A and B are shown apart, each in its own frame.
Chain A
C-alpha cells in the first residue's frame, strides 16, 4: 500500500490537472459557440450564391465552364483539412484515417496531398505520400482570404492540367457530439441536381453576358467550398475538444474520489496503530 505522503502528492497533481482540463473545456465551449456563429453567418452568402447560379443555369449550360469538365482522374489532389492542435479525442485521427481510405482507393494513380492544419501535415509527413503544399497556422486567425488563397492555387493547377481531380477531406460539424469525416469533390464541380422549383421564370438582364458572369461566379463557388470546410473543421475541433476535456475532468474526479478514500483508510489505520502503542505503553507503566 502506498504511503500517506505518496497519496497526498498524487491527489495534489491530479486536482491540478483537473483544474486545467476544466478550464480548457470552458474555453473550448466559448470558442465553439463563436465558430458555430461563423457557420451561421456564412449561410446567407451560400444561399445567394446558389440563387445566382440557379438563375444563370436557366439561360446557359454551366458545363460550358472548364471547371465543370470531367476528365479521367490520373492525377488526384487530396486536400486534408485538420486542426492545428490536439487534445480533442479522435477528431484529427478520424480525418486522417478517411484520407488513408481515399489513398487506398486511388492506389496506382498519381496522388498528392495538400494539407491544411498542422495535425494532418504531421501525420502524413513521414508516410509514403507526397505533400505538395502545406498551409499551416490557418486556424489561428480564420479569414476568408486564406480559403480563397488555397482554392485559387488548386483552381489554377486544375486549369493548367497539372491535376485532374481535387477532393476535399474534412470533418462536418453535425452537432456538438457528432463530427463526421467526409470527402467532397471540389473540382471538377459536380453539376447540381436541377430541383423542380416552381419559381416563375424571371427574365433577368445579364451584364456582361451570362457566360462571362458564370466565369466569375464559378471560382467564387470553389473558394466558398474551401471556406466552408475550414469553418466546419474549426467548429468541430472545439466541439471535440470540449467533449474530450469534459471526459478528462470527469475521470479526474473519479480518480480523486478513489484516492481520497484510500488516503483516509491509510490515515485511519495509522492513527489506530499509534493509539494501540500509547495504550500498550500506558498499561506497561501502570
Chain B
C-alpha cells in the first residue's frame, strides 16, 4: 500500500508528522478514511477519534477536539485545537472534566450558553476517555 505524508498541527506544537498508509478522521459530516491518492478534500472535524495506520505497521490513536483536515496531493494536514495520543491522555483530568460538565448540565439554573459549553466540554472529556481505553 502506498504511503503519504500526514501532519497534525496545533497552535502549541506539531503533534505528529510522518509517513502513513491510512488515516481515519472524525469529519463533521461523519467519519472518513483517507488512502493515498485521495481527491483534494477540505472538511471540518468534530470531536472524536483519529486513527493512523503508520507506514511501519504501527497504529496510533488520537483524541482530537475539532479543527480541519485538508487532503491534497502532497498529503494530509490536520489542524486541531488540541490533539493527544491515546497513551498520553491525562485520564484523571478527563475524568474530573467529565464530572464538572455533568454537574453543570444537572444544574438547571445555568443559562443556555453555559449549558451548550458544558455539552461540548462533556463530549471532549468522554472522547478522551474513550480514546485512552478507559470506557
What is the interface of chain A, defined by CB distance below 8 A to chain B?
38, 41-42, 44-45, 48-49, 51-52, 55-56, 143-144, 147-148, 202-208, 212-213, 216-217, 220, 223-224, 227
Dominant secondary structure of chain A at its interface with chain B: helix
A208 to B68, CA, bound (A): 11
A44-B7, A52-B79, A55-B70 are contacts. A204–B12 as well, Cβ < 8 Å? no
What are 10 A-to-B residue pairs whose CB atoms are below 8 Å?
A45-B14, A48-B9, A48-B77, A49-B79, A52-B79, A143-B12, A202-B72, A216-B66, A220-B79, A224-B11
Quick check: is B43 within 8 A (CB to CB) of the other chain? yes
Q: Is the CB of A55 within 8 A of B42?
A: yes
19 further contact pairs, Cβ within 8 A, besides A204-B42, A205-B39, A205-B41 = A41-B13, A44-B7, A45-B10, A45-B11, A49-B79, A51-B77, A55-B70, A202-B40, A202-B72, A202-B73, A205-B42, A207-B29, A207-B43, A207-B44, A208-B28, A213-B44, A216-B44, A217-B68, A220-B81
Interface residue from B42, B66, B73 paired with A213 (Cβ < 8 Å): B42
Q: Is the CB of B11 within 8 A of A42?
A: yes
Q: How far is the CB of B87 from chain A (nearest CB, A)?
A: 21
CB neighbours (8 Å) of B73 from chain A are 202
A202 to B73, CA, bound (A): 9
Interface residue from A41, A212, A224 paired with B14 (Cβ < 8 Å): A41
A204-B41, A207-B43 are contacts. A48–B12 as well, Cβ < 8 Å? no
A148-B81, A203-B40 are contacts. A52–B10 as well, Cβ < 8 Å? no
Quick check: is B26 within 8 A (CB to CB) of the other chain? no
CB neighbours (8 Å) of A212 from chain B are 44
A41 to B14, CA, bound (A): 7
CB neighbours (8 Å) of B40 from chain A are 202-205
CB neighbours (8 Å) of B13 from chain A are 38, 41-42
A223 to B77, CA, bound (A): 19
CB neighbours (8 Å) of B27 from chain A are 207
CB neighbours (8 Å) of B14 from chain A are 41, 44-45
CB neighbours (8 Å) of B12 from chain A are 38, 41-42, 143-144
Q: How far is the CB of A243 from chain B (nearest CB, A)?
A: 27
Q: How far is the CB of A209 from chain B (nearest CB, A)?
A: 10
CB neighbours (8 Å) of A224 from chain B are 11
Q: What 3 pairs across the A-B complex have the smallest Cβ distances?
A: A41-B13, A207-B43, A45-B9
CB neighbours (8 Å) of B7 from chain A are 44, 48
A144 to B29, CA, bound (A): 26
Which residue of chain A has its CB nearest to the CB of B82?
A144
CB neighbours (8 Å) of A56 from chain B are 42
Q: Is the CB of A45 within 8 A of B79?
A: yes
Interface residue from A44, A148, A208, A223 paired with B9 (Cβ < 8 Å): A44
CB neighbours (8 Å) of A38 from chain B are 12-13
A44 to B11, CA, bound (A): 8
A195 to B7, CA, bound (A): 25
Q: How far is the CB of B117 from chain A (nearest CB, A)?
A: 10
A203 to B42, CA, bound (A): 10
Q: How far is the CB of A242 from chain B (nearest CB, A)?
A: 23
